[in-house]
Homo-oligomer: A and B are copies of this chain.
């Protein structure tokens, strides 16, 4: 089962054309990432930062926007890890509209595990690697 979390599109997220300003969709994806860590990795992202001095910034993002999001939409952000390397992992994000499950946007992102003091890539700690792979496996299972 892929992890998912819900987000309400807010007034301030939409632009004068009435559509969600696309940088804000990346903000939604980051909220998905934060919730993924809390739920699947059993650590609040802010504690990951303050206590372990780790972050997972995006170094590569391939994103498709299929359907404009509008103010009032409720969204489901689905997150799973599709591959894990030594110091980076590939996260798959899908944004679905709750009322009809329509896939509105999809993003494949490579996140690097970064030490926040040195700002250099470091090995992904085993506990997170394990949590990432578990998610990966369950997502793969679900698709069979």
**Which residues of the other chain, B, contact A46 by a CB distance below 8 angstroms?**
11, 16, 70-72
Do B12 and A27 touch across chains, with their CB atoms under 8 A apart? yes
Residue in contact with A49 in the complex, picked from B17, B49, B61, CB distance below 8 Å: B17
Q: Is A34 an interface residue (CB 8 A)?
A: yes
B-facing residues in A72-90 (Cβ within 8 Å)? 72
Q: Is A22 an interface residue (CB 8 A)?
A: yes
Do B12 and A14 touch across chains, with their CB atoms under 8 A apart? no
Residue in contact with A12 in the complex, picked from B23, B63, B65, B68, CB distance below 8 Å: B23
A60-B64, A65-B60 known; A16+B11 contact, CB < 8 A: yes
CA distance A31 to B18 in the complex (A): 17
Q: Is A130 an interface residue (CB 8 A)?
A: no
A60-B65, A63-B61 known; A23+B27 contact, CB < 8 A: yes
Q: Give 14 pairs: A residue, B residue, CB < 8 Å, sorted on A.
A: A10-B31, A11-B34, A12-B21, A12-B24, A16-B46, A17-B55, A19-B57, A19-B119, A21-B30, A46-B70, A50-B72, A57-B68, A61-B62, A62-B62
